[in-house]
Structure 1
Amino acid sequence: MTVRGCGVTNLPAPLADWFAAKAWTPRRHQLEMLAASRAGRSALLVAPTGSGKTMAGFLPSLVDLVENPREGLHTLYVSPLKALAVDVRRNLLTPIEDMGLDIAVETRTGDTPSDRKARQRVRPPQILLTTPESLSLLLSYPDSAALFAGLRTIIIDEVHAFATGKRGDLLALSMARLGTLAPELRRVALSATVADPDAYRGWLSGDGDYESVELVHGDSGAPPRIDIVIPQGRIPWAGHSGRYAAEQVMAEIETHRTTIVFCNTRSLAELIFQDLWKVNAMSLPIGIHHGSLSKEARRKVEEAMASGRLRALVATASLDLGVDWGDVDLVIQMGAPKGASRLLQRIGRANHRLDEPSEAVLVPGNRFEYLEGRAALDAIEAGELDNEPFRPGSIDVLAQHVMAVACAGPFRAEELLAEINRAAPYATLTAEQFDRVLNYIANGGYALKAYEKFRRLTRTADGAWRLSHPSYAVQHRLNAGIIVEAPMLDVRFKNGRSLGKVEEGFGTSLAPGDCFFFMGLALEVLKIDLTDLVVRATSKPARIPTYGGARMPISTHLAERVRHFLHEPAEWARFPADVREWLEMQARRSRLPAPDELLVETFSREKRHYMVLYSFEGWNAHQSLGMLLTRRMESQGLVPMGFVASDYALACWSVEPVVDPASLFSAEILEEEFVEWVEGSALLKRAFREVAVIGGLVERQHPGKKKSGRQVTFSTDLIYDVLRRYEPDHLLLDAAWADARAKMTDVGRLSGLIERAAERIVHVPLERVSPLAVPVLVLIGRETVAQGVADDVLLIEAEALAAEAMREG
């Protein structure tokens, strides 16, 4: 169904006059979103960056508040990023003030002061901008029913960024709750990069009925202009950061108004920031922004960008969604993009206008990354985006939500289950599964029920469930959240001023007197304790903090395109000469795999026997397979010495040669050995730590006291060991297994890889290293080094290895 017939003359006078004063005409999709609202329908808007998606989302709310003025919360806007909520508020306030409308707009995130949060619950603005976690916390208060009773619209921005993950699960549950408190609530979602709109419409509807959600498409914008940096005509053999191009990146910054330099990791952002300053001959103002900086530092940089005081900003994913700084005219991507959708989002930050092309530059770290970058450009040109599939909702998230509902007041199990079933990820949740969740919250499970601290729910005489004690509500609000980062240490000056956080593993590797770079500053360590790293500024030589975080594997879609490149020499004419030479020599010396083949090369070098396979299934899947293959090699007496993985290939080396690679692959490697390996590794413990924190089993904070990362890890490891021994089918162990399979091992892609090996494995024995093997072999001994730190060494080693690989004869 398409709702039409809403023209500019249908706008209230203040809005019509504002458009006229700007000499603007509302875009078709903006008016269609207004028409859908007047018809009482929820809607998904898929429109390119710069097309006015934000105004399209808010226009119905502004119209309704002009035509029907009222106090109280009218519209809730949910974004995946704090920075985006702040940016939207800034951009929304301007037209509201221009029109002279009496409409209050406020943000509520983890950065919002507590006194303002308390006031918002009593006297809320008409429009509140928040995040999934802050919305869930709002719903945990007893006054939430009154707060949300008059809510008319919820707007979910950049819905593709989190709908398919745990934050999407939490938001879906919160929307189901809001649907109970405000039955007339309309749901609106916005995105520029949705590959499967019907799947998102089904998620948005809550009951899977995608036809109940209006689909509105925006007009196509000007195609982006994207270049790939080719330094002195050569693409490096190795490296992941693109640091070799610092001078070229600085030259681009010098010739543009404002540039955002995107990096895939926080460590790389710190490195690139330092590299750019070293070649910043004009002393242009450059900032840095990532999630480990303090909120004061982030806000300061965001305000500087918004006011045009910076010429460049080095950033991570903390800024790649929706933030609209009108003066940005160039985006630079350092390293491989990992997905066409992610690259398109980042490119859209430049020339944030529909009728002007966004300008971007890719800086590949090595030759495989060049192919990946070219694949991403082709996908964008063809309008093909990465499709992240939906999956059943996570049980640890459900447990957190049920606890939030209990904090708001007593509930009846059957009523809450019916409500939860109206959240798309939990539509098939059964009464039996729900009872397991309730019993877990009520007593911690069989192995933990003797402990008072786990008895959070009590059954009343009339069959309802309530909190066992009000203190559990305080604990829930202190600890609730979906994002569980690695254990961190606060970085602060002696006077108490906070700079942000570094990972505990890095912080505890330091000693007083050591120096490191952070937030663009060289810092010297004065003192380290359980939660703090006390520092002072210094001019001494420094190193870069490392952040583990989640690796972004190459998307399945881009991997397929790279396989196609390898098998189609007709494509090579578009590549730089050295990339063509690389592929041509590989074809002569060995083989280039067909898209459905698994190429395995074996060769000897320096008294080691190597096996390299090229599957392009991403680092997680290759890392998992490396562990499994070396175990099998051990059982076959091959004496494996190690392995190294990239997004594109896996290399194993051993004392004895692999003569028959096919014997290492079979179905039971996943059915039996995978389970044995995961259970014996630290993977399951790491996954359990996350679900235990999300599910409320282990607390990160107590009133006035915060646990260190080591304390949290010790607590989760202790409980993990108890449950593995006494209750191996515990709810959270099941949830940890699901996470380990899906995220840490990428078992879906691993399964496809093994299946392909069983059917189309091609073994090529060689006398020496092949050209295709060079980028992965140079990682040996460097895989535990912070990304980018060892690039100079890698380049030297790669050239020597490449000379051997490219030699004729």
Structure 2
Amino acid sequence: MTQLPASLQTWFDSRGWQIHPHQQAMLDRASDACLMLVAPTGGGKTLAGFLPTLAELADAPRTGLHTLYISPLKALATDIRRNLLIPIEEAGLPIRVEDRTGDTPSSRKRRQRADPPQILLTTPESLALLTSYEDAPRMFEGLQRVIVDEIHALAESKRGDQLMLALARLQTMCPNLRRVGLSATVEDPPAVARLLARHPDPCKILMADPGPEPDISMLQTDEAPPWSGGGAAYAIPAVLEQVRQHRTTLIFHNTRAQAEIFFHNLWLANEDALPIGIHHGSLDRAQREKVEAAMVRGDLRAIVCTGSLDLGIDWGDVDLVIQIGAPKNVKRLVQRIGRANHRYNAPSKALLVPANRFEVVECVAALQAVQERELDGEPRGPGPRDVLCQHILIAACAGPFDADALFEEMTSAGAYAGLAREDFDACLNFCATGGYALRAYDRWQRLLQRPDGLWQLRDPRSAARIRMNIGTIQDTDTLKVRWRGRGGQTLGEIEEGFAASLTKGDTFLIGGQIVRYEGLREMVVEVTRDAAKKPKIATFMGTKFATSTQLSQRILRMFDAGDWSALPGHTAQWLTLQQEVSQLPQPGRLLIESFPHDGREQLVVYGFAGRNAMQTLGLLLTKRMEEEGLAPMGFVASDYAVLIWGLDAVINPAPLFDLDRLEDGLEGWLQGNAVMKRTFRASATIAGLIERNTAGARKSGRQATMSSDILYDTLVKYDPGHLLLDITREEAMRGLVDFARIREMCDRIGDRIDLVRLKRVSPLSAPLFLEPGRVPINGSADERLLEEEVTRLLDESGLARLGETSAKVAASG
């Protein structure tokens, strides 16, 4: 067993601490080339990750970079630095720790490259930027360890792909580099370990004691949840009572707009004037930091928040977490639960608050999954090629490179292990010329091949532009919101599209305050205070989560079992009535209900494929219905079903679900749809075809959209086989339209389709009639309705009989 250096052991003893078993195991296996630790929140996993570094530097002090720590959040890096300095300073260790993020001053960044600290805390984007400099080999010379914290959060996104390519670059510079991954919530440890490891080398997995079961339940309220909606306003009194009973409560929401609404309603009901704050990514950084500092001091009784507080930052004495709305994802719920009682072997306490009747079922399913320690997650495909293109440009910024060596390096990154050489060459050709349709333009002639076979930048000055656009995060275009007047304080940001919809005098919520729109000045939204009680709501950007596949399947199994004992009475009665009137959806089968309502034929398809996929299914089914002459008029989708209304009843639904026909319909729909242009814009920005940042300024959303739309239309017309169009299609299928889940649904049900014809609306379908976001269909139904209306008007005016008489006269000659 590896012993701690005396200075560190003395520090542990001074605090009355004993090293945890998984921390000791990390010390014992410090020489492993790749090691991933899965330990519960509050279990000291970050210290476990750093202990080998502290021990090595305590035993053998040295200068230069020893350990690189990578975090998905800038705030987490700052928090880790603060916590890491405690043992370093109190144990008297000669170790310098610094962070490097987008907020770090330029002067410090330059010094860090010349004189790096022993421990550097950074983010994937900053690391990618560091590897782009010619002096990167000198800066990283002697690097021993890389620690990737919250690796589950990075493994699910392009930021993780970018990070693993950067690690492959570091491994080339430092062949003996050791990799460490840390997480509390990994649904498939071997899969994440393969992503972390240098392919084909293995990565060992260390599973810590998971600790006690969390104390998690559904909040009991006097009022039953509504049939539809996402605000959970009915639960405000019960939530306030919980806030009164606890020291600090985090109240999580799935979207920023919902957080704003709930905070506003909570504040109006806060008769005791309890100190309550709000925290989300659209608020001004100064306001976020003010709330964070108040949390650490224990000044706030509650914080209404979003995913901005999901990850492993220790925010003070939080003893309760409340999740408003169904969590949609068990792994995310476990992460949020862990914010409460952030201590080893102390059970976390959490309450779930369903926003509507169906979410009661989803919350119960999520509770059961947490109790059974069954996490969820969607399998990721091969590494995206737009990120690969960006990495080629980053490599070129660092100096001339050999294509064979770069290909070998890239395929050592787990997500790119299966990369075909022809795909790599296509990306290299794109980076060099822009592709067939663009090769005549100098701005996209970025690389050239030298006589010795090495590739380099055609113009060294382009390195600065490439570095300014490094990253995979695609922010929604926003405008700053500021109090009117010279030197007015910035409140945060709102979406450009939302700002464009405002007229002077309109009110909206931001930071929990109602503000009045006064005008747009120099691309800044100017506002004043307003005492209105019913504001417009800013449509903040951010992910609208879809229910995971695993959670959806668990709900279907609950329906199939027919055991409602875990459900509140009102929800159990609702499902029982559904069984009596119709039937409940079942695993491996597809339930479709058909009934008349409001003068139209209604069709409800219970696909349980998540919101994005059900939205896409609605588009494709209505297209198929048009082809079958069924005259659909519109649809609306939720996470679990799609409701379609039209003029004709569907008698045989099976032909509508022909997977080949659905995919053909998707192809045709995508070609002329804004989804493709949006996706193209994101991928083209990542791949370096479109520059958002220039030396002068950042392009506005409108400017970037215009330039990307022109490029897209040009490529579709003159170069339909262009690499970026192929990437765009892949990304659209995988992301916005989520066709993979439709394919999975069709494979799961086969020909097992249950069509139930009803006389009226069923209990399970009723909430769909209240669902927002209805999509009209302009097709044959419009023509039929127009013909019927003309006939009706003719009948009412007597012109129809006059028309018949004229026809008879004409016929008699």
With normalisation by structure 1, the TM-score equals: 0.93
**Counterpart residue number, 2:364:** 374
**Counterpart residue number, 2:186:** 194
The SS at the match of 1:180 is helix
Separation in 2, partners of 1:295, 1:468 = 39
- Which string of whole-angstrom CA distances, capped at 9 and with x for unpartnered residues, describes residues 660-686 of structure 1? 222311122234112111212211111
How far apart are residue 756 of structure 1 and its match? 4.0
**Counterpart residue number, 1:340:** 330
- 1:703 maps to 2:695: yes
Deviates more, 1:181-190 or 1:284-293: 284-293
How far apart are residue 323 of structure 1 and its match? 1.4
Separation in 1, partners of 2:292, 2:41 = 19
- 1:661 maps to 2:672: no
- 1:30 maps to 2:20: no
Counterpart of 2:371, as a letter, is E
The SS at the match of 2:771 is coil
- 1:765 maps to 2:757: yes
Asked if structure 2 preserves the Cα contact closer than 8 Å seen for 1:111 and 1:295, the reply is: no
- 1:130 maps to 2:122: yes
Deviates more, 1:454-463 or 1:739-748: 454-463
**Counterpart residue number, 1:753:** 745
Asked if structure 2 preserves the Cα contact closer than 8 Å seen for 1:294 and 1:499, the reply is: yes
Counterpart of 1:102, as a letter, is P
Q: 1:745 to 1:656 in 2, by over 3 A?
A: same
How far apart are residue 209 of structure 1 and its match? 3.3
Separation in 2, partners of 1:529, 1:728 = 41
Asked if structure 2 preserves the Cα contact closer than 8 Å seen for 1:46 and 1:194, the reply is: yes
Give the alignment partner of residue 51 of structure 1, picking from 21, 43, 56.
43
Give matches, 1:284-303, under 5 Å: 284-303=274-293
- Which string of whole-angstrom CA distances, capped at 9 and with x for unpartnered residues, describes residues 405-456 of structure 1? 1111111111111111111111122322211111111111111111111111
The SS at the match of 2:754 is strand
Separation in 1, partners of 2:492, 2:461 = 30
Larger Rg computed on CA atoms: 2
**Counterpart residue number, 2:519:** 527
Deviates more, 1:184-193 or 1:506-515: 506-515
Counterpart of 1:724, as a letter, is V
Deviates more, 1:70-79 or 1:462-471: 462-471
- 1:283 maps to 2:276: no
Separation in 2, partners of 1:780, 1:500 = 27
Counterpart of 2:28, as a letter, is A
Give matches, 1:505-516, under 5 Å: 505-516=497-508
Q: 1:630 to 1:289 in 2, by over 3 A?
A: same
Deviates more, 1:103-112 or 1:48-57: 103-112
**Counterpart residue number, 1:640:** 632
How far apart are residue 352 of structure 1 and its match? 0.6
Asked if structure 1 preserves the Cα contact closer than 8 Å seen for 2:588 and 2:749, the reply is: no
Separation in 2, partners of 1:566, 1:648 = 13
Asked if structure 2 preserves the Cα contact closer than 8 Å seen for 1:403 and 1:441, the reply is: yes
**Counterpart residue number, 2:354:** 364
Separation in 1, partners of 2:527, 2:133 = 39
- 1:624 maps to 2:624: no
Asked if structure 2 preserves the Cα contact closer than 8 Å seen for 1:368 and 1:648, the reply is: no
How far apart are residue 613 of structure 1 and its match? 1.3
The SS at the match of 2:211 is coil
- 1:175 maps to 2:161: no
- 1:553 maps to 2:546: yes
- Which string of whole-angstrom CA distances, capped at 9 and with x for unpartnered residues, describes residues 513-571 of structure 1? 322211223222233257322333343453221024332111111111100111112x2
Separation in 1, partners of 2:522, 2:592 = 47
Asked if structure 2 preserves the Cα contact closer than 8 Å seen for 1:321 and 1:345, the reply is: yes
Give matches, 1:260-275, under 5 Å: 260-275=250-265
Counterpart of 1:615, as a letter, is G
The SS at the match of 2:298 is coil
Counterpart of 2:543, as a letter, is A
Q: 1:783 to 1:60 in 2, by over 3 A?
A: farther
How far apart are residue 463 of structure 1 and its match? 1.6
Asked if structure 1 preserves the Cα contact closer than 8 Å seen for 2:33 and 2:177, the reply is: no
RMSD: 1.7
Separation in 2, partners of 1:275, 1:782 = 27
The SS at the match of 2:619 is helix
The SS at the match of 1:663 is helix
Percent identical: 49
Separation in 1, partners of 2:107, 2:284 = 20
Counterpart of 1:62, as a letter, is L
The SS at the match of 1:438 is helix
Separation in 1, partners of 2:522, 2:595 = 48
- 1:683 maps to 2:675: yes
- 1:13 maps to 2:3: no
Separation in 1, partners of 2:105, 2:638 = 43
**Counterpart residue number, 1:573:** 565
The SS at the match of 2:591 is strand
Counterpart of 1:207, as a letter, is H
Separation in 2, partners of 1:474, 1:775 = 53
**Counterpart residue number, 2:809:** none
Q: 1:641 to 1:532 in 2, by over 3 A?
A: same
Asked if structure 1 preserves the Cα contact closer than 8 Å seen for 2:297 and 2:316, the reply is: no
Asked if structure 1 preserves the Cα contact closer than 8 Å seen for 2:70 and 2:122, the reply is: yes
Unaligned runs of 5+ in 1: 785-809
Asked if structure 2 preserves the Cα contact closer than 8 Å seen for 1:260 and 1:314, the reply is: yes
- 1:457 maps to 2:447: yes
The SS at the match of 2:620 is helix
How far apart are residue 781 of structure 1 and its match? 5.7
**Counterpart residue number, 1:92:** 84
How far apart are residue 112 of structure 1 and its match? 2.1
Separation in 1, partners of 2:655, 2:424 = 44
**Counterpart residue number, 1:800:** none
Separation in 2, partners of 1:87, 1:12 = 25
How far apart are residue 635 of structure 1 and its match? 1.9
Separation in 2, partners of 1:424, 1:47 = 23
Counterpart of 1:403, as a letter, is L
Unaligned runs of 5+ in 2: 777-813
- 1:674 maps to 2:651: no
How far apart are residue 775 of structure 1 and its match? 1.7
Separation in 1, partners of 2:500, 2:144 = 50
How far apart are residue 387 of structure 1 and its match? 3.1
**Counterpart residue number, 2:556:** 563
Asked if structure 2 preserves the Cα contact closer than 8 Å seen for 1:234 and 1:576, the reply is: no
Deviates more, 1:536-545 or 1:175-184: 536-545
How far apart are residue 632 of structure 1 and its match? 1.4
- Which string of whole-angstrom CA distances, capped at 9 and with x for unpartnered residues, describes residues 492-516 of structure 1? 3442643322111111111233222
Separation in 1, partners of 2:561, 2:114 = 64
Q: 1:658 to 1:476 in 2, by over 3 A?
A: same
Give the alignment partner of residue 466 of structure 1, picking from 456, 460, 464.
456
Q: 1:430 to 1:223 in 2, by over 3 A?
A: same
